[in-house]
Every structure is written in C-alpha cells, then in structure tokens.
Amino acid sequence: DGGITQSPKYLFRKEGQNVTLSCEQNLNHDAMYWYRQDPGQGLRLIYYSQIVNDFQKGDIAEGYSVSREKKESFPLTVTSAQKNPTAFYLCASSRDLYMNTEAFFGQGTRLTVV
C-alpha cells in the first residue's frame, strides 16, 4: 500500500544527544515536510523539501537539521541545540509544492527527553 512510514513510533533521548527520525514515502511525491505538534497546539512547520538535495527552513527550524538525498526519504535530526525537543513529530508529503494539493501524513514519532 502507498503511504508514509515514520520510525520509530516512540523515541527517548538523553540530554545532549542527537537523534534522527526516519520518514519514508512510496507515493512518488516530490514535496516532503516535517511538523512538530505540542499538546493543545496546532502543527508547526520545521523544514520542507520540494526536490532531492533541496530543502528550506520552516517556522521553527532552530535545533533541527534535515537531508533529502533520495526522493523517498526525508530524515529529521533533532540536535542537542534544540532546547525543548519533547513533542510529537509528523512527516508529510504532497504531490508537489505549487499545486496546493492535500498532504498525506505519517503516524508520527513521539520524542521524549529523559
């Protein structure tokens, strides 16, 4: 089945560690996104990518990094510079960045700092 796969579902990070969240899609979508969701808040855009080897900062990019070496994959690294990383992270993809088509979302990764 076509869709977006995020892993792991739950992730625990110690203070000062970098962690990487995986996002893979087999929808042949050009655009991919990372959002952060905090309790009682909407989703906020971290990074997005329109094509391979290109990505742009969203509204809350500080403390995060991404790569887009393959069309299917858009991993997110939460670095030690992110002061409050505990949150629910959602990856999404859409057919392309300019058609305002609907985005499809993965099931999310819940990151907790211990």
Partner 1 sequence: AQKVTQAQTEISVVEKEDVTLDCVYETRDTTYYLFWYKQPPSGELVFLIRRNSFDEQNEISGRYSWNFQKSTSSFNFTITASQVVDSAVYFCALSEARTSGSRLTFGEGTQLTVNP
Judged by the rule CB under 8 A, the positions of this chain that interact with partner 1 are 31, 33, 40-45, 48, 50, 56, 58, 88, 90, 92, 94, 96-108, 110
Q: Kindly state the tokens that stand for 43.
A: 């989703």
Q: How far is the CB of 15 from partner 1 (least distance, A)?
A: 25
Q: How far is the CB of 98 from partner 1 (least distance, A)?
A: 4
Q: How far is the CB of 54 from partner 1 (least distance, A)?
A: 12
Q: How far is the CB of 75 from partner 1 (least distance, A)?
A: 18
Q: Which of 43/63 has CB closer to partner 1?
A: 43
- CA 86, CA 37: separation in Å to the nearest integer? 10
- Strand-pairing partners, residue 66, are 76
